[in-house]
Amino acid sequence: MSAELPGTGAEENRPFDISGAVEVSKGSYRRLLGNSKFRRLWFAQFVSGVGDWLVIGFLMPLVTSLSGGSSFAVAGIMIAKIIPSLLFSSVIGALVDRFDRRRTMIACDVSRAILALGLLFTNSLWVIYFIVMSMEVASLFFGPAKNTLIPHLVEDKGDITAANGLSYTTQQGSMVIGLAASGGILAGFEFGVRSLLHSGLPLVDRLVGPFAPALLGPRAGVILDMLTFVVSAITITGIRVHAKAARSKAGLDLSLLGHDAIDSYRFLRSHRELRGFLVTIGFAILGGGTLIPVGLVHVQQNLIGGVPILERFEFLARLAAAPQTFILLFMAVGMMSGALLVPRLAGLMSLQLLFLGGVWGFGLAMFGFASVELYWVAGLFAAGAGFGIATVTVAGNSYVIHTVADEIRGRVFTALESVIRVSLLVSMIVMAPLGDLAAAAVRRLVEVRNIYPGNLLLTGSQITLQLASLLVMAAGVYALRTLSWRSNGRTVAEDE
């Protein structure tokens, strides 16, 4: 199960088979990183991937402020990022084959850098959403262009499996870093700029001084995000290779719009054993997706205090200065811990039981996160939620690999990606407005009953998050009733 939201079709969305990486010789990665062309591509992918998600992490607190704490306004960012992948992934895959892949990637980076700059000059939520959607369309071109460029750069064709594995891992890592550590990255950037300005060097005063307001202001993240795409474009420019496919005589088939999602759900209807697994994931994400828009409002409005250990160190305190995005760092730590520990647990219990435990753990951690007021305690629950997400991801992917016949595995992973995207989209459209409605209902109660807000046991965002966590746990109950959790199950054949 990929954590990646942008999709590029069945082939690009298919998670990398970890078992294949184990079989690759240890020398493959040394040869790949010793290859200057591949190394440039790998670095460019990482930097632009961080930028692709850094802008989302930066915009979340900004949109929260501009909208007056609206959960649905925050959800609009993710909606704008999800819709292009649902509609255009198949068509974009065909378009990429019509152009030089290297030049396509450079054009995507330049486009995203220019679009990111537009965020400096607007306070309109609709303009922000349009920019995010446009940047995502460019990202959808970048992904398949990068994937199809890899075979042109790898000298030893036996290393292509390792190259794809390294590319996939980098893709996921850059997403986690860009989204979860955006507040920390921005604080580190500002710390570096302030250190330069305090150095007293005349050259620094002349070159950096005039831009200090933008580099240190509330939208400094825009400049940093633009720089990631500029660095990526310059890096790719240094790759000397011709990678343009032969022009196809076939025209562009617009009927492919949304084809991946439609085909996936047709497949889902015809395989009963997988239905329970995919439905569980769908409802878990439907509830869990609430953590993004409503959870960040909860952090802003309800949590008090900080992280005691971090407050002892000035630089670390700067990293925690953006509490909304920093709470995502707790989730990232939980996800990384889960990714390391869960494979060991898989040898001790069935994958279905591990998957079931991950869903329940995620739901319980969400409920705890919604029910506390101390920031550092909420951070611990956020880390627990991240661990639950990692457990569901690793156990879910392994379940598909071990129980689904090879000839239909690609379709299962495509269906899985479609379930993830559509459920997350529905969560943003349905659950986030519920948070706003609950907040409005609580405000009316305070006004009518003349209640002091500090005496409220629960706020609107807390109520919404708790209801969403119950939905996640209900998905766990459904999994308990439908999955054969006492064993690793049988192989699903194509003719089921």
Domain limit, last residue, from 244, 278, 311: 244
- Closest alpha carbon to 186 in 150, 228, 239: 228
| pLDDT tier for residue 155 given thresholds of 50, 70 and 90 | confident
pLDDT in tens, 374-408: 888 888 998 999 899 888 888 887 777 777 666 66
Indicate if the pLDDT at residue 68 is higher than 60: yes
- Per residue in 299-317, pLDDT tens? 877 777 655 555 555 555 5
363 pLDDT band, cuts 50/70/90, is: very high
The span from the CA of 415 to the CA of 395, in Å, is 17
Q: Are residues 262 and 371 in the same domain?
A: yes
* Per-residue pLDDT at 3: 40
In this predicted structure, the answer to whether residue 19 has a pLDDT above a threshold of 50 is no
Does 267 or 445 have the greater pLDDT score? 445
**112 confidence band (pLDDT: 50, 70, 90):** very high
Does any domain span residue 222?
yes
Q: CATH number, domain at 129?
A: 1.20.1250.20
Question: Among the three residues 218, 244, 270, which one is the final residue of a domain in this structure?
Answer: 244
User: Do 172 and 289 share a structural domain?
Assistant: no
**Which tokens belong to 182?**
């955006």
- Does the pLDDT value for residue 24 go beyond 50? no
pLDDT of 14 above 90: no
| Model pLDDT, residue 384 | 92
What is residue 305's predicted lDDT score, i.e. its pLDDT? 66
Q: How far apart are the C-alpha atoms of 111 and 132, rounded to whole Å?
A: 12
Three-state helix/strand/coil letters over the chain: CCCCCCCCCHHHHCCCCHHHHHHCCCHHHHHHHHCHHHHHHHHHHHHHHHHHHHHHHHHHHHHHHHCCCCHHHHHHHHHHHHHHHHHHHHHHHHHHCCCEHHHHHHHHHHHHHHHHHHHHHCCCHHHHHHHHHHHHHHHHHHHHHHHHHHHHHCCCHHHHHHHHHHHHHHHHHHHHHHHHCHHHHHHHHHHHHHHHHCCCCHHHHHHCHHHHHHHHCCCHHHHHHHHHHHHHHHHHHCCCCCCECCCCCCCCCHHHCCHHHHHHHHHHHCCHHHHHHHHHHHHHHHHHHHHCHHHHHHHHHHCECCCCCHHHCHHHHHHCCCHHHHHHHHHHHHHHHHHHHHHHHCCCCCHHHHHHHHHHHHHHHHHHHHHCCEHHHHHHHHHHHHHHHHHHHHHHHHHHHHHECHHHHHHHHHHHHHHHHHHHHHHHHHHHHHHHHHHHHHHHHHHHHCCCHHHCCCCHHHHHHHHHHHHHHHHHHHHHHHCCCCCCCCCECCCC
- Specify the range with the lowest mean pLDDT, choosing from 19-28, 228-237, 372-381, 476-485: 19-28
Same domain, 234 and 275: no
Torsion, CA 126, CA 132, CA 133, CA 138, rounded to 10 = 150
Taking 80 as the threshold, does the pLDDT of residue 111 lie above it?
Answer: yes
Count of structural domains within the chain: 2
Asked if the structure places residue 72 within a domain, the reply is yes
Percent of the chain with pLDDT over 90: 12
Which of 244, 278, 308 corresponds to the end of one domain? 244
Q: What is the mean pLDDT of residues 353-357?
A: 88
Q: How far apart are CA 119 and CA 131, in angstroms?
A: 8
- Is a pLDDT exceeding 50 seen at residue 206? yes
Q: Are residues 146 and 264 in the same domain?
A: no
Q: Which one, of 384, 350, 391, lies nearest residue 370 by Cα?
A: 384
Q: What band does 361 get if pLDDT is binned at 50, 70 and 90?
A: very high
- Domain presence at residue 253: no
110 vs 8, more confident: 110
Predicted local confidence at residue 210, as pLDDT:
73
- Measured torsion, CA atoms of residues 397, 400, 405, 410, in degrees rounded to the nearest 10: -60
- Mean pLDDT over 366-376 rounds to 88
Residue 494 domain flag: no
Count of other CB atoms within 10 angstroms of residue 95: 15
Average pLDDT estimate for 275-288? 87
Of the candidates 29, 137, 46, the one whose C-alpha atom is nearest the C-alpha of residue 89 is: 137
Tell me which of 158 and 477 has the higher pLDDT.
Answer: 477
At 180-198, the pLDDT tens digits run: 667 677 777 877 788 787 7
- Let me know if residue 281 belongs to a domain: yes
Whether residue 280 sits in one domain with residue 139: no
Worst-scoring range by mean pLDDT, 61-70, 87-96, 330-339, 362-371?
A: 87-96
Evaluate if residue 208 carries a pLDDT over 80: no
Rounded to an integer, the average pLDDT of 444-451 is 66
Average pLDDT on 428-435 reads 80
Are 65 and 117 members of one domain?
yes
145 φ, ψ to 5°? Answer: -65, -40
> Does residue 233 sit in the same domain as residue 270?
no
Query: Are 179 and 78 within 8 A, CB to CB?
Result: no
Question: Is there a domain that residue 50 lies in?
Answer: yes
pLDDT for 11? 41
* pLDDT for position 335: 80
Average pLDDT over residues 155-173: 71
Provide mean pLDDT across the span 30-52.
Answer: 86
35 Cβ contact list (under 8 Å, min separation 6)? 153, 154, 155
- Selected residue with higher pLDDT from 457 and 40: 40
* Residue type present at position 128: I
In terms of Cα–Cα distance, which of 152, 119, 367 is closest to 223? 119
Distance CA 70, CA 395 (A): 34
- 358 plus 445 within the same structural domain: yes
Is residue 210 situated within a structural domain?
yes
Question: Mean pLDDT, to the nearest integer, of 28-46?
Answer: 84
Supply the pLDDT for residue 483.
77
SS (H, E, C) 439-466: HHHHHHHHHHHCCCHHHCCCCHHHHHHH
One domain, residues 371 and 449: yes
* Per-residue pLDDT at 16: 40
Q: CB–CB of 412/274 below 8 Å?
A: yes
Look at residue 43 and tell me whether its pLDDT is greater than 60.
yes
pLDDT at 236: 92
pLDDT value for 326: 62
pTM for the model: 0.68
How high is the mean pLDDT of the chain? 75
Top pLDDT among 36 and 448 is at 36
- Provide the pLDDT for residue 74: 83
The token duo for 403 is 């129980």
Q: Within this chain, do residues 78 and 222 fall inside the same structural domain, yes or no?
A: yes
User: What span, in angstroms and rounded, lies between the C-alpha atoms of 169 and 1?
Assistant: 13
Q: Are residues 237 and 274 in the same domain?
A: no
pLDDT at 366: 93
Question: Same domain for 207 and 353?
Answer: no
Q: Which domain holds residue 36?
A: 1-244
How far, in Å, CA of 245 to CA of 98, rounded?
Answer: 7
* pLDDT mean over 484-488: 60
Buried b (16+ CB within 10 A) or exposed e, 159-182: bbbbbbbbbbeebbebbbbbbbbb
Write the pLDDT tens digit of every residue in 318-329.
554 455 656 777
- Least confident among 16-20, 22-26, 139-143, 300-304: 16-20
In a domain, 376, yes or no: yes
Q: What is the pLDDT of residue 407?
A: 60
